[in-house]
Amino acid sequence: MIQDSDIVVAVDVGTSKVCTIIARGDGDGAFDILSHCVVPSFGLEKGNVTDIAANSEAIRESVTEAARQAGVTVTEAYVGVTGSHVSFETRRDQLNQAASRGVITGADLNAAPETVAAASRKSGVLILHALPRSYTLDGQRGIRNPVGMHTSHLEVETHVVTAAASFVDRLTQAVQQAGYQVADLVLQPIASAEAVLTESEKEQGVALVDIGGGTSDIIVYSKGSVFYNSALPIGGFQFTNDICMTYDTTNEAAEEAKIVHANTEPSAVQAQDEISLPIAGRVSERRVAVRDLCQLVRERAQELSRLMRLKLHEAGYADTSSVQIVLTGGTSELAGLEDMVRRTVSRQVRLGAPARVSGLKNIPDELRSPKYATSIGILRWAMGQQAEPVPQINGANGTNGKSRHNRMSRIFSRIMSR
């Protein structure tokens, strides 16, 4: 059994959930979502697979049910990657072959990823993305699209995203043990950006902070392209775990308390408000002042805000007060968090949810939430890849025999044509 060529499958493997979305192309470049399935995730911590068998079972359950609902066969999927092992470097590489002909062609730009990838390759490191920022022709910098220009010296400035091969291999193994091939990998915050950022925001400059279950990812755009990405060691799990540890309660009760009662501003709740939390391993309960719970959450949120400022400083912003920030991911909806970030990091803050996404005809209401930004974004990325088929080249650097060089060529062409 094979997967229909007009079917795309996106799998978001997170710390707290695995979300699978299946869509079908209509032949005119648009896609209809046929089904989706969300199940609890196991065997993943802070973006790293710690139990391949457990993670594989969660992936299998999610994909199998989504395929059943859609009535289609699934053999391969596009998968998101994140974690502290992901890093980047900004490179400047000469494109000597292109310069030797004098006139720059589209084929020259398509060949650029091979040059960049070869120069970037290191043992134990996998190149996820090579994203162009600009070109330099005969010393003139900042050229966005040099096709048709004459030059004797051509350089490309590239944002190269890399990941530890061992971590990616475990994720790939989990998907393969579930019975599927990895069609391609995409960095999760890049996927989220596909779902919630506008082209205008990317052009003017914006920082996306995707607050996931185990980590928070930050990615910064300027002049339409990525120039910084990093992972923060705080996500929704840490907020929940603080409640678990402080009040010796169950994870389920702590998660519900966080969602229903927590607020980063203790003064927003009544002083006399209390809730009951079960004591782990006992039949008894503990009465907890909601303000105390909120103070606990506030301290973790303050730490997250400090890390946001630190990463923005690292990205080159000495003053963060006017940086456009878009918060997304499930924990971005924590009561009071948006206002805290607005007061402590930047005045320009909004929540990002996948309401309207180019090329997607129908997004179910339940997926129009910040916590599904990455899932929808992976699908959007997959749609772009599906529109430009990749030839099979056995033994190439792709995750299932597809040529990573050809994939990266398409990325260069697509981004520079914007």
CA distance 280 to 286: 10
**Which of the residue ranges 35-49, 272-286, 380-394 would you say has the lowest mean pLDDT?**
380-394
Order the strands of the 181-187 sheet from edge to edge: 31-40, 17-25, 7-13, 76-81, 181-187
Residues 6+ apart with CB under 8 A from 188: 12, 47, 80, 81, 82, 210, 212, 217, 374, 377, 378
Taking the C-alpha atoms of residue 187 and residue 347, their distance in angstroms, rounded to an integer, is 27
Mean pLDDT, the chain, as a whole number? Answer: 88
Class assignment of domain 195-235+299-351? alpha beta
At residue 386, the pLDDT reads: 75
Domain ranges of the chain: 7-83+167-193+355-403, 87-164, 195-235+299-351, 242-297
Place of tokens 């963060």: 320
- Using CA atoms, how far apart are residues 8 and 20, in angstroms rounded to an integer? 10
Note if the pTM is more than 0.85.
yes
Q: What percent of the chain has pLDDT over 70?
A: 92
Evaluated on CA atoms 4, 11, 117, 418, the torsion sign reads positive
Instruction: Give the confidence band of 387 by pLDDT, cuts at 50, 70, 90.
Output: low
The alpha carbon of residue 200 and the mean position of all alpha carbons in its chain are separated, in whole angstroms, by: 19
Give the pLDDT score at 113. Answer: 66
DSSP 148: T
Q: What is the pLDDT of residues 203-235, one digit of tens each?
A: 999 999 999 998 999 999 999 999 999 999 999
If you average pLDDT over residues 171-177, what whole number do you get? 97
61, 137, 249, 340 from 15: Cα distances, Å: 16, 45, 20, 25
Tell the CATH topology of 87-164: Dna Ligase; domain 1 (3.30.1490)
Summarize pLDDT for 48-88 with one digit per residue, the tens.
899 999 999 999 999 999 999 999 999 999 999 998 899 99
Same fold, 7-83+167-193+355-403 and 87-164: no
If one looks up domain 242-297 in CATH, what number appears? Answer: 3.90.640.10
What CATH architecture applies to the domain 7-83+167-193+355-403? 2-Layer Sandwich (3.30)
Q: What is the pLDDT of residue 190?
A: 95
Which tokens sit at 326?
Answer: 């878009």
pLDDT classification of 385: cutoffs 50, 70, 90: confident
